[in-house]
Structure 1
């Protein structure tokens, strides 16, 4: 163990969104730089990109949403962060006949569509035109005098103008490989606040994986361990559950063969979406393992669960660290609670000493956290410390 020159942790930076602390530590990870000993990844074949451009009326698109053939990513909370004034100016743009930027849809093999880019805009327009009592009234318009108006309050000719607005849509063909589609999503994402990796995965995944992750993050054991992180505004809770599922299902060897965290989590999402890969019986086992891991982690670490808490460190509670979450949750999923309770002091002491003195470990949970060596080191460290007192 390489000993630190002074006790304590590196600066802990909490993620902030829309002026609010999120309760989760910023993950300082260089996702683009290849490891020194790794080969440069060969770009995918441009011939794999199949995109067609079509024009739809807004009425047509809203009908597709209502009938379920165009999905607006259920449980996706980001659309709620637009203020009424922002939503109103989008509607005003339609009324002024200002063309909107192109939308991107991904077509499924069954002919259904998912929104790749433009989710917030379409959610806003659907809420205004078809939302009824759940819609909103215009506010803060720059050029028109229709403030306080709902869609039904607008003159009929303006309602018709909105419904007949022509929207340019680029449709990604279902034969496009999923990893290429994911990369396209990241490149064209044009929202005011770019989507993070888990928000993109959520938008592009199917109901099955969404429901699995939602169930995991709604567990009382998860919310007790994470101080009620379930329903996180940036879906950090879903990402943490997905990380556990990925390592629990596929193991460290699978990550070492392709040490790119985004790709690893994409693969796990695809597995969860496929009942042939992960049958319902395996999902039930996943639930029980996750429940056990969360209960055991909180039993050991209490309010400091999944947070940096070095021996001799300053008092107070740090935000949740995702690297600690994935490594300790997997390490504790197979232990009996009574065994851990008996050895609690030894385990906690070992973990806190490591966070105070082991520079390599601090690096593994702080920066370049997707590096294969750092992932392996934090997992092996958690496994070793979980055996303290045996």
Structure 2
């Protein structure tokens, strides 16, 4: 893709007459005006204040009212679960003890008109750090995997000398507090801060973006991920559930069901584009989507001996296998609402199906189409 400004700058360098240079410079100025207009259109009126709070104060604002969900400093629903490993938590504590700076924590003053929320502040970015500090001061965190000060391994907060505890509590944490900030802006900020993060998975970013509040996400993706039969036939580890893998599976089901023939090579882009296009859904559309999902899961429960797992002893479900089976079932049901399962064992454990659902199948459009249609056709007896 050649950007217009790049091409015009190139032409300006090659222009051999003053008249041509004047013409090109005029076009460049027109583009600059359009860019400035676009910037002003999207510029956010967000006020912010930089401040410092002691660790003791941050934890106190988070802890008081935590159990009744009316704590002053709270984690909003678009944030991820507490998923930091013990290693990451321990390294944060060690960094603070030795005086290393940590990234700013972004919070936002909530002005919603709801008396239960007004005056409270939500954590826009930094929830893992805040929850780590809370766990440590609450003696729920035992330090481990530390290499710089290995003598700290095995320590809880209460094991530190009283003087060190006081000093730790007085450590300052840098805070950016946003005000006059809409929920859409807060979600956008969360997404932009975390887009490049290795720790944050794609579904967690989607959850925190504008899509996390869309009718399709709230009324279809989240509802289907909470379906009891789905949880039974698609077992996922606790870690994967915290990372939003159940939401990832349900999104993939609908994206491939409705658009698998258009898949290119990037699963992330494919899902993001689909989620963007499908954000708005009517009540009838929502009901129809949930119906096909539930019928698909029920079919799998009744006819596949291990659900979507490979074997009885498998602890989790491969994405590619789930996509092939779930979407293939749904497509077959769309052609035959009274679909019956005949001779499933003949192909479910075959080398052909194994080849279609292993390796780099998820990044190849021909294989995506082949594996889904293989299941559909086997179920329809084609």
2:129 is the alignment partner of 1:136: no
Paired residue for 2:308, among 295, 306, 309?
306
Structure 1 residues 107 and 186, CA, compared in 2 at 3 Å: closer, same or farther? farther
Higher relative contact order (CA 8 A, sep 6+): 1
How far is 1:70 from its partner? 6.0
TM-score, normalised with respect to structure 1? 0.59
Unaligned runs of 5+ in 1: 1-38, 310-314
Q: Which residue of 1 aligns with 2:376?
A: 383
Number of residue pairs aligned between Structure 1 and Structure 2:
317
TM-align CA RMSD: 5.3
CA distance in 2, matches of 1:77, 1:211: 24
Does structure 2 conserve the Cα–Cα contact (< 8 Å) formed by 1:55 and 1:169?
Answer: yes
**2:342 aligned partner:** 344
The 5 A counterparts of 1:1-390 are 55-58=50-53, 66-67=71-72, 71=76, 73=78, 76-79=81-84, 81-82=85-86, 87=89, 90-91=92-93, 93-102=95-104, 115=124, 118-128=126-136, 136=140, 142=149, 148-149=156-157, 158=167, 161-162=170-171, 164-167=172-175, 185-187=194-196, 189=197, 194-204=199-209, 206=212, 209=217, 212-227=220-235, 232-248=241-257, 250-252=258-260, 255-256=262-263, 259-270=265-276, 274=279, 277-303=280-306, 305-308=307-310, 320-333=317-330, 335=333, 339-341=338-340, 343-345=341-343, 347-353=344-350, 356-357=351-352, 362-363=355-356, 365-388=358-381
Indicate how the Cα distance of structure 1 residues 228 and 198 shifts in structure 2: closer, same or farther if over 3 A, else same: closer
Task: Give the Cα separation in 1 of the matches to 2:284 and 2:162.
Answer: 53
Q: CA deviation at 1:222?
A: 1.1
Quote the offset at 1:215 in angstroms.
3.4
Q: Unaligned regions of 5+ residues in structure 2, if any?
A: 5-34, 64-70, 113-120
Quick check: 277-286 or 323-332, which moved more? 277-286
Q: Deviation digits for residues 211-262 of structure 1, max 9, x if unmatched?
A: 75443233221123124668735433221112113234x4335x44x65211
User: Given the two structures, how large is their TM-score scaled by the length of structure 2?
Assistant: 0.60
Question: Is the contact made by 1:271 and 1:278 (CA closer than 8 Å) also made in structure 2?
Answer: no
Decide which structure has greater helix share. 2
Alpha carbons 2:237, 2:316 under 8 Å: kept = no
Q: 2: distance between equivalents of 1:137 and 1:232? A: 22
